[in-house]
Chains A and B, each alone.
Chain A
Amino acid sequence: MDVITPQNLQEALEELAKDPCAGVLAGGTDLLVKWKSNTINPPRVFTILGLQELNFIREEEGRLCIGPLVTHQDLAESAVVQRHAPLLAKACAQVGSLQIRNRGTIGGNLVTASPAGDTIPALVVLNASVVLQSAQGERQVPLREFITGPGKTVLQPGELLTAVSFPCMEATEVGFYRKLGQRQAMAISIVNLALKATLENAVIKDISIACGSVGPTVVELKRTANRLKGHSLDTSELRNIVVNAGDETNPISDIRASEEYRRQMVGELLYEGLQSLRRQSAG
């Protein structure tokens, strides 16, 4: 495998246009693991890790724009992210180990498109979209449409993910993120769940719920979200609503957990999330 180092974004896009089947290497925490196990073996990869123009966190007209090379640890520690999207900071803090978070990037997490990807449910409830750039131009794609299956995205040969952005959370919005793994560090999610809600006097006006590791791509619990709207977070009715939330998911049984356990945990994590929203609205 030949590792080539473009000097700037323009050069990277031009090189990628000439050799669209080449791999793109950023933090290496997914690509190099697959390369070492012979799952992939591209003859050429472009390492973009040194491209500073892809490493930024900016607040622009009410949106948070994040470069694909920002590491999970930098996002977890970013004051801007903690203020405008605390659930994303939380999701990033739970990726792998510190060594992995120091190298692995948010762009890599999205392009890898693992069904268990930790940042994906958080970014979905934040209504994120991604910018895909090629030598010919650029397009913006909602994250919901970007990932199409396990390891599959709409990224075309020659395209590079160059930004992810989403609206900053409003003062009336509260969020929650929880990852369930076999241990607290270094674990691939058994289930992860992100919530974002608009509250008015502890009544749910609007709510988005997204879960990972319970289907081929992130699963949004739209039916459950609709049932929750209009309910107060103080009502005992919440228990009855969340109990069937797992029915909206499509998990498999694997080495980490059974299908039944995952389904049940979706409801439990959702309930925990609603309790957290209640505490946040009170405090």
Chain B
Amino acid sequence: MAVYTFTLNGKQTSVEVPSDTTLLETLREALGLTGTKEGCGKGECGACTVIVNGKAANACLIMTSQLAGADIRTIEGLGSDGVLDSLQTAFVETGAVQCGYCTPGMLMSARALLLKKSSPSTEEIRESIAGNLCRCTGYAKIVEAIRKAAVSARERGV
């Protein structure tokens, strides 16, 4: 066991786990943040996508011991005080959620894209979620929701 310290959703966080604990296990089991889902567990489905130092990454393929000092954002860090993030609002309004299992990962991939690019093209939106599988086959609505969120953020000037 060792103690690892990083920034999680804006707060400095320390956690004591074995050195071969994945970020996904740390989030879900040590910290009780179960919004991040496990799908395939080998980097193919994107259900566990989180944002590490501003970039989308699969939490199942990162060791917690590799994250000393890192800035990590999970689905729990989207929105605040019960107010939804603009992407979450757009997903709800567009009907971009079916069973919901892929949704946290989709939202984090989309957030990572919008952090980098406020006016992405449809092609860039599609590419940003190419590593996120939706087994309900709802991609059209998801792409539409991300586009709407980008437009509404621009209109609000944020």
Contacts and interface: CB of A to CB of B under 8 A. Distances in A.
Contact of A29 (B52, B56, B61, B112): B61
B9 interface: no
Interface stretch (B85-93, B124-132, B145-153): B124-132
A37 B46 CA distance: 18
B49 A32 contact: no
Contacts of A32: 22, 43, 60-61, 63
B65 A5 contact: yes
Contacts of B56: 98-99, 102
Q: How large is the interface on A (under 10, 10 to 19, 20 to 34, 35 or more residues)?
A: 20 to 34
A97 B127 CA distance: 8
A184 B49 CA distance: 20
A6 B112 CA distance: 30
Chief secondary structure at chain B's binding surface: mixed
Nearest to B70: A50
B7 to A, nearest CB: 16
A25 B61 CA distance: 11
Contact of A33 (B49, B61, B66, B68): B61
Interface in B60-92: 60-63, 65-66, 68
A215 interface: no
A167 interface: no
A47 interface: yes
Given A186-B130, A186-B131, 11 more contacts: A3-B63, A32-B61, A33-B43, A50-B66, A98-B109, A98-B112, A99-B56, A99-B109, A103-B57, A103-B61, A186-B44
